[in-house]
Amino acid sequence: MHRAVENMHRRLKETLAQLKRCLEDLYPVLSRVKPWVQEKLKIAEEDFILDHRWDAHEEALALCRQSHLEQTSYFLQRDLSFMREREPVLKQELSRVRNPNRSFHWRTQIWSPHHWNVRKVFQGESEIVPTVISRTSSSLAQPRSDPNQPVYLVEKQRMHTTTTRIPFWRWVNYCYRTYSWMWNAMFIFGIIVPWCSPVSLRALFCIRPFIPDLEINQIDGTLYPRKSSLTHTLCSRLLLLWRHISKSRTEFESRPDTGFIGKGFSRHLNRLWNYFIKGALGTLLIVFFFPLVCLSVSFLSLCVAAFAAVWVPAVTFIFHLVMIFVYDFDSPGLPRNKVCMVVEALLWHISVLGVLQPILALLVALVICPIASLIVFLAAMIRCCCRLIWDVAMFHFLIKRRGRVPSSDSWLVKRIAGPGLSNEHFFQISPEQALAAFEAKLETEELNAFREEVERIILLPQQIYREFVAHCFHPFSATLYKEGVYREVEKEAQELLAALRDQVDRYGMYVVEEK
């Protein structure tokens, strides 16, 4: 399969290279524009892939059958049949399934605990069990980590879902947002604040503390009062205050009289602090200030809940205006701008892209481009005329009279064609020049042969002496000692060689100049 895919890639590259050469031959100007060439190559590549999409599988199947790989051939044949027959049908069926870009969840509070949904989760299965409320507290409310025991969950809210799939989904969001906000506002300001909060009517008129919230028991799934939500009433606060005062007085009287100031004087200070500051002022605050706060808060909360149908739609409408002019919180999740959409539409899409861009395009196309083209044309004509005048003047006044073919490049001229630069150009000489060059070459060869022979004669005594020493003294592991007389002989030979080379070089230069 890899070999077949590599062959397909190679054929694709060859096709694209051939297409590129054809484009360069047919469109010599447009072929210099890289985006245009890339677009043509991309279209050709897509057409090639579409026309040869099964060739890799067919070639791999043929190679497997030639190699007698029956199992691999079977799976390749199944894969090819699936892609040819079943895949288009499945794509057509699955294309009808449209998933929305974004879903919105709207939660509304369930007012009555009797209508809460208690869900039992055990070993991955979930079921709704009847809601049972107990009046006594429970100690096991946290979910258990033992997988062999069920887990109970309580749902105190109903959830409605909307998506961007339907038309006018923003108006649907407006209706659901208004409904959920109004329902939850009525629950908070009509139930929680006036009846369940620490400053509610219930806290004002009840005698004993009450527990407004419930929690679920993980043993049997029963709803029990949550101890952490214990709320004190007016009477219970007074009772707690005077119990605290009594406890403080008892602790003071039970401690021994070992302080800096004796109990005879500090007792009066303690009574003043507990009975007057804590007791009298605290009682006055609880009796007079606490009912006023409870009544005012409860009355305002009930008024807010009663008029929720009036102010919640207005708040929701203002929120949607903010999403239009400031930031789009309900953006469908596409790669689009979320900030100041109206400003973007008015300034960018309408003013710039709709009005300014066409005007600038017409201005550039009808005024700037023709003027620029005329300027470029005039500059090219002036440059061409100047170059022609310069070339004619240089040729007739300088090159024709003084110029000749240079043997090498210089700062003034540079050779681009001619003898020595390509095989299509040759030097044309006379027979006399050719004979002189041949004689000079022969004499040079004779000089070289003479120099080699004389060098051999000069170095012959040293070579004979080295061979004699090596033949006689090599069995005794002796070597030639190159000092004394041998060093003088060697120095004399080097001087003779240098003189010989100097004479040969001088004669060679004389022969070349003479020819």
What pLDDT is attached to residue 328? 86
Share of residues in the chain with pLDDT > 70 (%)? 91
193 neighbors 203 (Cβ within 8 angstroms):
no
Task: For residues 235 and 453, give the distance between their C-alpha atoms in angstroms, rounded to a whole number.
Answer: 138
> Which pairing describes strands 103-109 and 151-155: parallel, antiparallel, or unpaired?
unpaired
Higher pLDDT, residue 107 or 143: 107
Query: Mutual orientation of helices 234-254 and 263-271 as an angle, nearest 10°?
Result: 180
Contacts of 79 by beta carbon, 8 Å cutoff, 6+ apart: 57
Q: Which long-range contacts (CB under 8 A, 24 or more apart) does 191-195 make?
A: 191/111, 193/297, 193/298, 193/301, 194/297, 194/298, 194/301, 194/302
Q: How far is CA 213 from CA 111, 137, 237, 302, in A?
A: 12, 11, 20, 20
pLDDT at 112 over 60: yes
Task: For residues 249 and 266, give the distance between their C-alpha atoms in angstroms, rounded to a whole number.
Answer: 12
Q: Considering just the CA atoms, what is the radius of gyration of the chain in Å? A: 54
Average pLDDT over residues 80-94: 80
What pLDDT is attached to residue 108? 94
Residue 315 exposed, middle or buried by CB count within 10 Å (0-12, 13-18, 19+): middle
Report residue 170 as tokens.
Answer: 């923003």
Contacts of 355 by beta carbon, 8 Å cutoff, 6+ apart: none
Average pLDDT over residues 104-124: 89
Query: Mutual orientation of helices 2-26 and 55-66 as an angle, nearest 10°?
Result: 140
DSSP annotation of 368 reads: I
Report residue 246 as tokens.
Answer: 């009594």
- Lowest mean pLDDT, pick from 71-80, 199-208, 215-224: 71-80
Task: For residues 172 and 165, give the distance between their C-alpha atoms in angstroms, rounded to a whole number.
Answer: 11
131 neighbors 223 (Cβ within 8 angstroms):
yes
pTM over 0.95: no
Task: For residues 179 and 162, give the distance between their C-alpha atoms in angstroms, rounded to a whole number.
Answer: 13
pLDDT tens-place string over residues 451-493: 888 888 888 887 887 787 778 877 776 776 677 777 787 888 8
Q: What is the DSSP string of 269-334?
A: HHHIIIIIIIIIIHHHIIIIIHHHHHHHHHHHHHHHHHTHHHHHHHHHHHHHHHHHHTB-TT--SS
What pLDDT is attached to residue 277? 85
CA angle 175, 181, 185 (to 5 degrees): 145
What pLDDT is attached to residue 303? 95
Average pLDDT over residues 356-378: 94
Share of residues in the chain with pLDDT > 90 (%)? 24
213 neighbors 154 (Cβ within 8 angstroms):
no
What pLDDT is attached to residue 469? 77
Task: For residues 267 and 409, give the distance between their C-alpha atoms in angstroms, rounded to a whole number.
Answer: 121
Split at pLDDT 50, 70, 90, the class of 182 is very high
Average pLDDT over residues 178-190: 95
> Which pairing describes strands 125-129 and 117-122: parallel, antiparallel, or unpaired?
antiparallel
Report residue 120 as tokens.
Answer: 């039992």
- Lowest mean pLDDT, pick from 55-64, 262-271, 296-305, 325-334: 262-271
Closest CA to 512 of 420, 455, 442: 442
What pLDDT is attached to residue 488? 80
Other beta carbons within 10 angstroms of residue 497's beta carbon come to 15
pLDDT tens-place string over residues 274-328: 888 888 888 888 889 999 999 999 999 999 999 999 999 999 999 999 988 888 8
Report residue 52 as tokens.
Answer: 């040869």
Higher pLDDT, residue 461 or 361: 361
What pLDDT is attached to residue 498? 86
pLDDT tens-place string over residues 388-437: 999 899 888 888 777 777 777 777 777 777 666 666 666 677 888 788 87
pLDDT at 141 over 60: no
Query: Going along 101-204, which residue ranges are E strands?
Result: 103-109, 117-122, 125-129, 151-155, 157-163
What pLDDT is attached to residue 348? 85
121 neighbors 153 (Cβ within 8 angstroms):
yes
pLDDT at 166 over 70: yes
Split at pLDDT 50, 70, 90, the class of 362 is very high
The mean pLDDT value of the chain amounts to 84
Higher pLDDT, residue 258 or 13: 13
pLDDT at 361 over 90: yes
Most confident of 29-43, 62-76, 168-182, 335-349: 168-182
- Lowest mean pLDDT, pick from 111-120, 182-191, 301-310: 111-120
Split at pLDDT 50, 70, 90, the class of 509 is confident
